Amino acid sequence: MILVVGATGSLGGRITRGLLAQGKPVRILARHNSPSEELAKQGRANTARSLIEAGAEAVYGDLKDRASLTAAVAGVETVVTTATATQRGGDDTVPAVDLHGTLGLIEAARAAGVKRFVYTSTYGAVQGHPVPLFNIKGTCEAALEQSGMEHTILWPAIFMEIWIGMVVGMPLMARQPISLIGKGDHRHNFVSEADVAAFAVAAVDNPRAANQRIGIGGPASYSWTEVVAAVGQAMGAKVPVQYLPPGSPAPLLPDEIGALLNGMETFETFVEMTETAPAYEVKLTTLDDYIRRTFMG
């Protein structure tokens, strides 16, 4: 039995359906009155019912409820978690879910004798990182490595769907200029959520993935200026852009996203995938493929 935690999220749902398509038994951790019910109407999540109808078994609980985690991992051989509170609110804070909830899940899995634990972290995460989320992810990675369980840590780069959707898509929908920081010339790797899901599915029973940290990126790295130009070219229209001084808030974006957008203009990200993608039989989505699918659909 494979337990997927975060299954009602967009990435977790893809993983759940991918495992079910392979005929694997899947259990999902679901919540009563989950915010995913509303998010699913916007295409940003999956309902528990839709995953159950696809063949998943559901157990109800919450990462913030340690007792429910003990019940969830009973009889489970593999745990896959994508759970994060970065797009939630209320009591679902990043410290409560991403840190304490994940640490509780790791301990519950260890105590239950789970054989493999697949954890979705983020590229560059490490304990002591100045960005709180990266520090939290790094802390959970360390706990997993010390747990004694066979484990796989997924290190995905920046998700195309989330970041390009916010930085470029939101202003276009609002008919406002796209706001970039500085010269928008620092290059970063963008990866499709579908590709990350494919790696997670492949890691579940692949001996190559045992006790490995797998960096996951797209075929190339791009600056935000290059991304905007590619969107404009695909749309056949000039896309308005305003360049803001470093430290500026980004109009239309949440404060924390604006802060990260500022941070992205202080470093660059390159993920080498020429050997990794073939090793796990994943065909990577190109930036142009994503843009055509999203902005020309």
What is the structure's pLDDT at 48?
Answer: 83
Other Cβ atoms closer than 10 A to 40: 19
pLDDT, tens only, 244-282:
999 999 898 888 788 889 989 989 999 999 999 999 999
Q: Which of 245, 225, 157 is nearest to 185 (CA)?
A: 225
pLDDT, tens only, 198-207:
999 999 999 9
- Cα separation, 34 vs 74, in Å, equals 22
What is the structure's pLDDT at 201?
Answer: 97
The whole model's pTM is what?
Answer: 0.91
List of domains in the chain: 2-156 (3.40.50.720), 162-187+220-295 (3.90.25.10)
pLDDT, tens only, 98-132:
999 999 999 999 999 999 999 999 998 999 888 88
Dmax over CA atoms of the chain, in Å, equals: 57
**Structure-model confidence comparison of residues 90 and 79, the more confident one:** 79
Cα angle at 28 between 32 and 157, to 5 degrees?
A: 110
- pLDDT > 70 fraction of the chain, expressed in percent and rounded: 94
- 44 — pLDDT class (breaks 50, 70, 90): low
Residues 6+ positions from 2 with CB-CB distance below 8 Å: 19, 24, 25, 26, 27, 76, 77, 78, 79, 80, 204
